[in-house]
Amino acid sequence: MLWWTEELATGIDSIDNQHKSIFEEGEKIIQFDEETSKKSVENSFKYLINYVIEHFSSEENVMIRYCYDNFEDHRNKHTHLIVNLHKLYKDFSNNGLDEKLLDDFKLLIIKWLINHIDQDDKKFAYFMRKAGT
């Protein structure tokens, strides 16, 4: 089960609200199984790909505005997720839904939500608090 906690908050309302939306979609994805309709899985892929691109752009604009010293590394991690989502979506589009693809999709989302938001975004939040914003 995935759920948002205030411990994950960056303190930037727009970014935190976007993270909450990603968590909501992640919760849906965790529930997927091989009986899930292809359309539901496709909708989640499309939602995530579009939403994270929009979210990452917002987050990166704040980082640039405040000269975040770890910007390049953070952006590279964003790019990594987008590339992997596209790869999985391409595999799904070409080969359909199977247990391995579902497991890979779930693992990518879980690892992302747990690791990136909890670790990398917390570093950014700390930077923002330290900068007095």
**Secondary structure (DSSP) of the chain:** -----GGG--S-HHHHHHHHHHHHHHHHHHT--TTS-HHHHHHHHHHHHHHHHHHHHHHHHHHHHTT-TTHHHHHHHHHHHHHHHHHHHHHHHHH---HHHHHHHHHHHHHIIIIIIIIIHHHHHHHHHHTT-
In a domain, 10, yes or no: no
Q: What pLDDT is stored for residue 117 in this prediction?
A: 83
Instruction: Say what the pTM is.
Output: 0.85
For 68, counting Cβ atoms within 10 Å of its Cβ (0-12 exposed, 13-18 middle, 19+ buried), the class is buried
Residue 115 lies in domain:
45-133
In a domain, 102, yes or no: yes
Q: What pLDDT is stored for residue 39 in this prediction?
A: 94
In a domain, 55, yes or no: yes
In a domain, 4, yes or no: no
Looking at every residue in the chain, the average pLDDT score rounds to 88
Q: What pLDDT is stored for residue 24 in this prediction?
A: 86
Segment 94-109 shows an average pLDDT of 91
Q: What residue has token string 């849906």? A: 28
In a domain, 36, yes or no: no
pLDDT tens digit string along 12-49? 888 888 888 888 888 888 898 888 999 999 999 999 99
Q: What pLDDT is stored for residue 8 in this prediction?
A: 81
Task: Label residues 41-57 b or e (16+ Cβ within 10 Å = b).
Answer: beebbeebbeebeebbe
For 109, counting Cβ atoms within 10 Å of its Cβ (0-12 exposed, 13-18 middle, 19+ buried), the class is buried
In a domain, 22, yes or no: no
- The whole-angstrom separation of Cα 18 and Cα 9 is 11
pLDDT tens digit string along 84-99? 999 999 999 999 889 9
Q: What pLDDT is stored for residue 94 in this prediction?
A: 95
Total structural domains in the chain? Answer: 1
In a domain, 78, yes or no: yes
pLDDT tens digit string along 49-72? 998 899 899 889 999 999 999 999
In a domain, 3, yes or no: no
Q: What pLDDT is stored for residue 11 in this prediction?
A: 79
